Amino acid sequence: MKKVIINLLGALILGLSGCFKPGDNIQGFTDVPAIIGSYSTVLEPVLVTTTGILLAPELSYFPEFNHGDAVLAYFSINFDKQPLQEYTTVSDLQVYRINTAVPVATTGGQSTGDFDSPIPYMDSYCSIIEYYDRIVYFLIFGQNANIEDVFDYEMTYDPDYTEEIPSVYIRVKRTGSNPPPKERIVPVMQSFDMTQYIIDLKHTDKKMFNIKYNKSGEDGEEDFIDWIGNPIELD
């Protein structure tokens, strides 16, 4: 599968910021997509990222999060003072939940309901995390929003796979105020658990699929745009 990823320890990380303290090599990382997991070898909670597993003992301070939750993480790594030589441990941890949707099979890939708000644009970044048998995509959208707005995304597909290259269709509905006068474009991250969709697709003769998002949404008229990262190739 072709992966467009955000490298945790490289220059492509979204929002990477470095900070150094005298005597220690401490680096700060922001906006890191991750899945909360566990690692029986060291009996510590972990963050599963695009580049591997990070030990995160401070996750015990966040009882509202569970194994398998998708999050956006902020943390520091002291590369000079690591408790375990074999693993990387993070500190100064903050985590924020990311909503997760699952592709839904519908006739012709139609919407399941009133997901009729526009998606002005979809960012070219995609972080793909594989954890045990799960495959989770983290995608970034640009939405016209005010501070109280909440966005609920859906992803649908046609289970008959009638297209030469099948597509998944992303739509959104916004809850909150009517379009406010100070509305502006803000980035919104959403995760999609693609596991079952990819398993099913591999049982067909299809070798790739497209991601499309509804840019219009005005007056119920849909206008699907191809994501710049298309097509996604299957392994």
Q: Domain boundaries in the chain?
A: 26-97, 100-233
Pairing of strands 104-105, 150-157: parallel
Average pLDDT value for residue range 227-235: 93
Percent of the chain with pLDDT over 90: 69
Minimum mean pLDDT among 3-12, 14-23, 96-105, 112-121: which range? 3-12
Average pLDDT value for residue range 198-205: 94
The pLDDT value recorded for residue 12 is 31
Distant-in-sequence, close-in-space partners of 192: CB < 8 Å, separation ≥ 6: 100, 101, 102, 103, 136, 137, 139, 153, 155
**CA torsion angle for 113, 198, 193, 225 (degrees, to 10)?**
-50
Interval 145-199: pLDDT, tens: 887 889 999 999 999 998 999 999 999 998 876 666 566 889 999 999 999 999 9
Class of domain 100-233: mainly beta
Average pLDDT value for residue range 107-122: 94
Interval 57-94: pLDDT, tens: 999 999 999 999 999 999 999 999 999 888 899 999 99
What confidence category does residue 15 fall into, taking pLDDT thresholds of 50, 70 and 90? Answer: very low
Residue 1 has pLDDT above 50, yes or no: no
Longest dimension (CA), the chain: 61
Strands of the chain (E only): list them.
26-39, 44-49, 52-55, 70-78, 91-97, 100-101, 104-105, 121-131, 134-145, 150-157, 167-175, 184-193, 208-214, 224-226, 232-233
Q: Tokens 């090599």 map to which residue? A: 25
Average pLDDT value for residue range 18-38: 80
**Which is more confident, 42 or 198?**
198
On the 0-12 / 13-18 / 19+ scale of CB atoms within 10 A, 35 is buried
- Is residue 127 within 8 Å of 117, Cβ to Cβ? no
Task: Report which of 73, 69, 105 is spatially closest to residue 91, judged by C-alpha positions.
Answer: 73
The pLDDT value recorded for residue 64 is 95
The pLDDT value recorded for residue 180 is 60
The pLDDT value recorded for residue 166 is 97
Query: Cα 176 from chain centroid?
Result: 23
List 137's β-bridge partners, or say none: 128, 192
Q: CA-CA distances (angstroms) from residue 117 to 112, 113, 205, 213?
A: 14, 11, 34, 11
Residue count of the chain, please give it. Answer: 235
C-alpha span between 232 and 212 (Å, rounded):
12
What is the residue-averaged pLDDT of the chain? Answer: 87
Report the CATH fold assignment for 26-97. OB fold (Dihydrolipoamide Acetyltransferase, E2P) (2.40.50)
